[in-house]
Amino acid sequence: MFNEGTIYANITPIVKSPIIGYRISGEDVLFILKKLTNKNFKNNHSLLKLVDLYNYDGTILDKCSVVYFKSPKSFTGEDVCEIFIHGSPLIASQLEKTLKSYKIPGFRIAKNGEFSYRSVLNNKNSLKQAKAVNSIISNESFSLLEYNKRLLFEGDKVSGLAPLREEIINIFSEITASIDFVDDEDFNFKNIMKKIRFFFNYCNNLLHKNRTKIEQKSICKIMLIGAVNVGKSTLFNKIIDKDRAIVTEIKGTTRDFLSNLVIIDGKKFELFDTAGQRSKQGKIEKYGYKRAQSLSREIDHFLILSDKNTKSVDLKQLFYDFSVKNNYSLIKTKSDLYNYNTKDIKINHHLDRDNVLKKIKLSSIHKKYVNNKKIELNFDINEIEFLEDILKYEQDITKEKDILIIAQLIRNILDDFSYEFGYINNEDIYDRVFSNFCIGK
Amino acid sequence: MFHVEHYDVVVIGAGHAGIEAANISEKYGLKTALITKNYSDLGKLSCNPSIGGVGKTHIASEVDILGGVICKIGDKSAIHYRVLNLSKGPAVWGVRAQIDRDLYSQNMKKFIKSSKIDLIEDEATNILEKNNKIIGVELSNIGKIKSKAVILTTGTFLNGKIYFGNESQEAGRIGNSSSKALAKFINKNFKTMRLKTGTPPRIYAQSINYDVLEPQISENNGIFLSYFTKQNTNKKINCFITKTNNKTHKIIRDNLDKSAMYSGIIKSQGVRYCPSIEDKITKFGDRNGHNIFLEPEGLNSDLVYPNGISNSLDKKIQLKFLRSIKGLEKCEVDQFGYAVEYDSVDPRELKNNFETKKIENFFLAGQINGTTGYEEAAGQGVYAAIHAAIKIKKIKFNTKVFERDNSYIGVLVDDLTKLGVTEPYRMFTSRAENRLKLRTDNSYERFSTIITPKAFNKAEYSLISKNIVNEKKILDQLKKLKYSPNNLMKKNIKVKKDGKVRNGFEVLKFLYPSPNNFYQFFNIKISQKLLTKIYFDSKYDVFYEREKKSFDQLSKNKNMKLTNIDFNKIPSLSKEILEKLNKHKPENLYDAGKISGITPSALFQIVKHKKDKGKKVA
Ligand SMILES: Cc1cc2nc3c(=O)[nH]c(=O)nc-3n(C[C@H](O)[C@H](O)[C@H](O)COP(=O)(O)OP(=O)(O)OC[C@H]3O[C@@H](n4cnc5c(N)ncnc54)[C@H](O)[C@@H]3O)c2cc1C
Ligand SMILES: Nc1nc2c(ncn2[C@@H]2O[C@H](COP(=O)(O)OP(=O)(O)OP(=O)(O)O)[C@@H](O)[C@H]2O)c(=O)[nH]1
Ligand SMILES: [Mg+2]
């Protein structure tokens, strides 16, 4: 569990792009930088430097930006550097080869989540905060993102679990007092049980309220369908603003569906490009078309592309194949080549992106499927699961008549909270007991 | 010049810790001296005339089964019994006995005289050591005596100082001079701290108007302090309950400047769970009244101990507020309440066996270690003596019985030596993680591996042995009986229809636990006492398992030693966490985890640092 050694990993995908980033964390970072750049970074904490990188054989690898963070003032709490090379997978592989050539004992590629894990080990983040970092990256909704950011920057107290922790400590304190200081105040078993039931009811309410809140949809899923060669991939690339899908004049270029997340005007979309429709499909193509079809149930909205060559029977077939109801927009492509006189949206690949986006009206499509009301969350999915775990005690505790067994089970709940929020020990309980009750003679 | 006798163990102080220590040490065959300033003080109950209660009884019952005397002599001198928490299951039953002070002292003296302990009336003035190892003790009159080990149990006497309002005098408790010479030695060699406790006034019984007060009658449950007590034939007395009122509160509130604790004269730390009446009124002034239990000090005593109004007010104010209370309108006071301030040793100066880290064979026990209470003192006396015997005489003793999951003495020792104290430490059942298992009715079972004829007289030893054999026989019989769910349904017992065949012991928890019922169901005769015990064993069985599991979880890494770690070298520990670690100096990871506010991630961090360090050295 407690693995050591300096670790590295790419922090952007290794694809052709303007930039590819790497992060290295551990005690060998300065050594590595020295080897790699011939420079000493010791006094360059958090400064972005433009430097030459050298290959293991001494030739120049790249000219790029490097930033160094001195322990403990880094994400992981260890020495960290981040290297931003030109976005060529080839350069990336050269860099990795060079790093490996130093033969540093224990130096290895980081496991999934290991940087975050180390940040917890090094007390840079609480467990809760590390989870928040992960969620920020993988977040599905903006509300959740906001919540995780607050958790990270303001601390555990913003969590909806915090008042529950207070309450369970209070309950446990009262039980403790009622056992150890019986003759000091009037303690009433029924009252205690009432508080316990109230606590669980409250948990249940929170659970139901917040589960629906969290699961509230935020992504609008849009699929591009249409005959082969009609220009689906062209439009797809335009919308996501990247050359992701291959575009050729060959019919049946796209063989399997592609998907890509894109945020437009603060709204999230997942876009799907698909294999085109035609009567004679190749084996793989057919399979790809089928796969796209099987996905159609999840799709909110279809962009149905056609041009002058599209036959109306084929168009009908499309509606049938993808079970399209009234969740579609009709788009005529290649308007530079053909004249259309329909109300359909007309586009061509010479239009700039903004213009295309305006025509397709993605924003109003999003509104139709996704509730965009911003909600204030104070739970995330981990915490919902935590609530569910706590509620597993409900039956056992509320049915029990022996206060000692109840005390034991509530102590288990306290232990669960201890794990999330830090240790709750006897002294914390006694503090509560002696300030809430007049104990002793 | 040394005194002729050479002792194995010299015990200084004949309070509750000292007596138990001397007794155990003698029983394990060590040549033992017990030194006390005043013969008349032997076995004195310095505060309230009662023994037991929740948590306290728990320790006392362990002392009892280890061969101690507090319970036996307590029962002999008891004049009123109550069992607290009777509705809550035996794990937290707390029998409490009102004790006749004089009877207790007399019985104790008789007992010590009948033993082989050498009782010496003198003041210890110095501890003699050579190369950090004990060689003896110096006494004020007799001079030096040689001993292999010393157990120091001087209670509140080290630099003791008592306060009534603005008056103060040097004393270990009222009527006893404090021990200044010895205090010098202790303060020079050990880290000490100043603690505080208090006691209420004593009132003349004849001056109380009992007619208007509610009596509390002694209960007769057949539950005694000691495992060995069969009956108590002493006459029983009643206690009485009265209450403070708004007038009382006003008198106290108006005169807080005449309280030693509130005027700022006393600065040391008092006890949260033994608050003075000044404290109660300042913190919980909104209450209409605070209960006072009037406890007669003995059958022939004309004094009454008013439990609940310990204070350090000026004597005149004490009388004034007392006379504002129902039933006490015309009361006369024999001895006013006072606060006492004293030096106690930081118990983290002790090793796990209660030997000081600094001086070999020097043991400390009782209130000097920062605790409060007779039972807590007694438990430590026994513990220190057993470890002295292990050290000096190499007696065979399975010290596992003193782990915190097996005994309250273990919990106490662990808490004291690992966490230290900030206020006088008293036992609560909630301090024990394993509360369901640490019961007064099964201490003989928890300590079964070390029960020895040495610690008991013949009758006592044969009683335990007989009971253990009898219990085993009944359990064996029970476990041979088998019941299917259908079988049980027919007998009107509802269980899950899980097809599981249960044995008699597993079925027991579904029965109403009366001997009659038990006999009808199993056709086995049993006493109520044993039935109650095994009924709860049956009921708590699953929880023992669970407790054990969570204990194991904690235990996994618990032994990772942290003694030679410099926490300051761990760069990313937060300031608060560093402070806590440096303050408590946990010996291992498990102890670190018990410190308030230490997060799991801090523990990870420590582990990581430790492993890194190991790697570099290697
Ligand atoms: C005023 C007062 C109020 C208290 N209030 C409470 C309370 O409210 N609740 C509670 O639980 N407990 C209370 N206690 C505590 C309880 O009385 C003690 O915890 C318990 O008696 C401690 O036992 P011990 O054996 O450690 O010390 P003690 O019983 O105090 O015995 C110490 C013995 O050492 C002897 N001694 C001291 N110095 C020397 C020396 N130099 N040479 C030889 N002999 C020496 C003394 O004569 C005495 O016999 C109070 C104690 C006092 C004094
Ligand atoms: N003139 C013109 N050509 C276009 C336009 N849009 C796409 N094309 C061309 O049409 C051809 C097919 O385009 P794609 O985007 O690959 O079509 P597709 O629908 O993805 O085709 P398949 O993947 O084979 O189903 C390419 O040669 C594009 O350059 C347009 O608006 N105007
Ligand atoms: Mg395509």
Question: Cβ of B432 under 8 Å from any chain A Cβ?
Answer: no
**pLDDT average, residue stretch A257-263:** 86
Query: Which is more confident, B185 or B422?
Result: B185
Cα B272 from Cα B600, distance rounded (Å) = 29
Per CB-CB distance under 8 Å, the chain A contacts of B599 are: 123, 126-127, 422-423
Q: Residues of B457-481 as b/e, b for ≥16 C-beta within 10 angstroms?
A: eeebbebbeeeeeebeebbeebeeb
Q: Exposed, middle or buried: residue B490 (CB in 10 Å: 0-12, 13-18, 19+)?
A: exposed
The tens digit of pLDDT for each residue in A202-259 reads: 999 988 888 777 766 778 899 999 999 999 999 999 998 888 888 888 888 888 888 8
Per CB-CB distance under 8 Å, the chain B contacts of A180 are: 54-55, 92, 428-430
For B198, the token pair is: 């208090």
Place A280 in a pLDDT band, splitting at 50, 70 and 90: confident
Percent of chain B with pLDDT over 70: 93
Atom of ligand 1 nearest to the CA of B340: 1
Question: Cβ of B19 under 8 Å from any chain A Cβ?
Answer: no
**Separation of CA A249 and ligand 2 centre (Å):** 6
Residues of A with CB under 8 A from a CB of B: 2, 4, 71-72, 77, 120-127, 176, 179-183, 402-405, 407-408, 411-412, 415, 419, 422-430, 434-435, 438-441
Q: Exposed, middle or buried: residue B343 (CB in 10 Å: 0-12, 13-18, 19+)?
A: buried
Q: Exposed, middle or buried: residue B313 (CB in 10 Å: 0-12, 13-18, 19+)?
A: buried
The answer, yes or no, to whether residue A135 has pLDDT greater than 80, is no
Nearest to B274 among A123, A176, A440 (CB): A440
For A72, the token pair is: 């403990």
Q: A104: how many CB neighbours lie within 10 A of its CB?
A: 17
Cα separations in angstroms, A389 against A200, A331, A369, A417: 12, 50, 33, 11
Is any ligand 2 atom within 6 A of the Cβ of residue A351? Answer: no
Cα A70 from Cα B434, distance rounded (Å) = 46
Give the lowest-confidence range in A326-330, B188-192, B198-202, B264-268.
Answer: B264-268
Spatial CB neighbours of B302, under 8 Å, sequence gap ≥ 6: B204, B205, B206
φ, ψ (nearest 5 deg) of residue B591: -70, -35
Q: How far is B411 from chain A (nearest CA, A)?
A: 12
Cα separations in angstroms, B536 against A53, B96, B116, B548: 73, 22, 41, 17
Strands B362-364 and B143-152: parallel
Nearest to B571 among A72, A435, A441 (CB): A72
pLDDT of amino acid A229 = 92
**pLDDT average, residue stretch B481-497:** 88
For A327, the token pair is: 């969740």
For A414, the token pair is: 């306290």
Q: How far is B333 from chain A (nearest CA, A)?
A: 19
| Size of chain B in residues | 618
Mean pLDDT of chain A: 85
Q: Which of A191, A283, A272 is nearest to A225 (CA)?
A: A272
Query: Which is more confident, B148 or B565?
Result: B148
The answer, yes or no, to whether residue B165 has pLDDT greater than 90, is no
Phi-psi domain of A26 (left: phi exceeds 0; alpha: psi -120 through 50; beta: other): left
Cα separations in angstroms, B393 against A299, A409, B118, B452: 83, 44, 19, 16
ipTM attached to this prediction: 0.84
Spatial CB neighbours of A309, under 8 Å, sequence gap ≥ 6: A227, A230
Cα B88 from Cα A404, distance rounded (Å) = 7
Q: Which of B552, B599, B562 is nearest to B584 (CA)?
A: B562
Is any ligand 2 atom within 6 A of the Cβ of residue A252? Answer: yes
pLDDT of amino acid A2 = 40
pLDDT of amino acid A129 = 67
Is any ligand 2 atom within 6 A of the Cβ of residue A306? Answer: no
Nearest to A438 among B89, B290, B571 (CB): B290
pLDDT of amino acid B618 = 30
Nearest to B274 among A412, A422, A441 (CB): A441
The answer, yes or no, to whether residue B205 has pLDDT greater than 90, is yes
Domains of chain B: 2-199+342-449 (3.50.50.60), 202-219+226-341 (2.40.30.260), 457-553 (1.10.10.1800), 560-617 (1.10.150.570)
Q: Residue B181 in contact with residue B126, Cβ under 8 Å?
A: yes
The answer, yes or no, to whether residue A62 has pLDDT greater than 70, is yes
Give the lowest-confidence range in B8-17, B332-341, B486-495.
Answer: B486-495
pLDDT of amino acid B527 = 94
pLDDT of amino acid B303 = 95
Instruction: Tell me whether residues A438 and B284 touch, CB distance under 8 A.
Output: yes
Place B617 in a pLDDT band, splitting at 50, 70 and 90: very low
Q: Which of A141-145, A292-296, A362-366, B19-23 ranks highest by mean pLDDT?
A: B19-23
Is any ligand 2 atom within 6 A of the Cβ of residue A333? Answer: yes
Nearest to B428 among A126, A180, A403 (CB): A180
Cα B525 from Cα B520, distance rounded (Å) = 9
- Contacts for B108-113: CB closer than 8 Å, 24+ residues apart: B108/B19, B108/B42, B108/B43, B108/B69, B108/B73, B109/B39, B109/B42, B109/B43, B111/B69, B111/B73, B112/B14, B112/B19, B112/B22, B112/B34, B112/B42
The answer, yes or no, to whether residue B613 has pLDDT greater than 60, is no
Beta bridge partners of B214: B241
The answer, yes or no, to whether residue B297 has pLDDT greater than 70, is yes
In chain B, the largest separation of any two C-alpha atoms, in whole Å, equals 83
Question: Cβ of B439 under 8 Å from any chain A Cβ?
Answer: no
Q: Residue A362 in contact with residue A368, Cβ under 8 Å?
A: no
Domains of chain A: 7-118 (3.30.1360.120), 142-194+379-437 (no CATH), 219-369 (3.40.50.300)
pLDDT of amino acid A212 = 76
φ, ψ (nearest 5 deg) of residue A265: 50, 40
Question: Cβ of B602 under 8 Å from any chain A Cβ?
Answer: yes
pLDDT of amino acid B616 = 38
Q: How far is A121 from chain B (nearest CA, A)?
A: 5
Cα A176 from Cα A430, distance rounded (Å) = 9
The DSSP element (H or E) to which A354 belongs, if any, is helix A353-360
Spatial CB neighbours of A364, under 8 Å, sequence gap ≥ 6: none
The answer, yes or no, to whether residue B550 has pLDDT greater than 60, is no
Q: Is it true that the peptide bond before A72 is cis, omega within 30 degrees of 0? A: yes
Q: How many residue contacts between A and B have a Cβ separation below 8 Å?
A: 131
For B203, the token pair is: 């009132």
**pLDDT average, residue stretch A54-77:** 90
Question: Can you give the C-alpha Rg of chain A in angstroms?
Answer: 29
Place A3 in a pLDDT band, splitting at 50, 70 and 90: low
DSSP letter for each residue of A67-112: EEE-TTSSSSSS-EEEEEEES-HHHHHHHHHHHHHT--TT-EEPPT
* Residue with tokens 């993988």, as numbered in its chain: A138
pLDDT of amino acid B427 = 95
Mean pLDDT of chain B: 89
pLDDT of amino acid A138 = 54
pLDDT of amino acid B568 = 78
Query: Which is more confident, A289 or B324?
Result: B324
**pLDDT average, residue stretch B307-313:** 91
* Ligand lying closest to the C-alpha of residue A251: 2
Instruction: Tell me whether residues A404 and B605 touch, CB distance under 8 A.
Output: no
The tens digit of pLDDT for each residue in A387-425 reads: 888 998 999 999 998 999 999 899 888 877 876 666 677
Mutate to test the pocket of ligand 2, among A228, A240, A253, A304 (most ligand atoms within 8 A of CB): A253
Per CB-CB distance under 8 Å, the chain B contacts of A411 are: 433
**pLDDT average, residue stretch B534-555:** 73
Give the lowest-confidence range in A365-369, B188-192, B249-253, B519-523.
Answer: A365-369
**Closest residue by CA, ligand 2 atom 1:** A334
DSSP letter for each residue of B421-439: -SS-B---GGG-TTTTT--
Query: Which is more confident, A306 or A267?
Result: A306
The number of angstroms, rounded, from the C-alpha of B457 to the middle of its chain's C-alpha atoms is 24
Instruction: Tell me whether residues A440 and B55 touch, CB distance under 8 A.
Output: no
Instruction: Tell me whether residues A441 and B308 touch, CB distance under 8 A.
Output: yes
H-assigned helices in A139-282: 142-154, 162-180, 189-215, 232-240
Cα separations in angstroms, B278 against B258, B259, B321: 11, 8, 11
Q: Exposed, middle or buried: residue A65 (CB in 10 Å: 0-12, 13-18, 19+)?
A: middle
Per CB-CB distance under 8 Å, the chain B contacts of A176 are: 428, 430
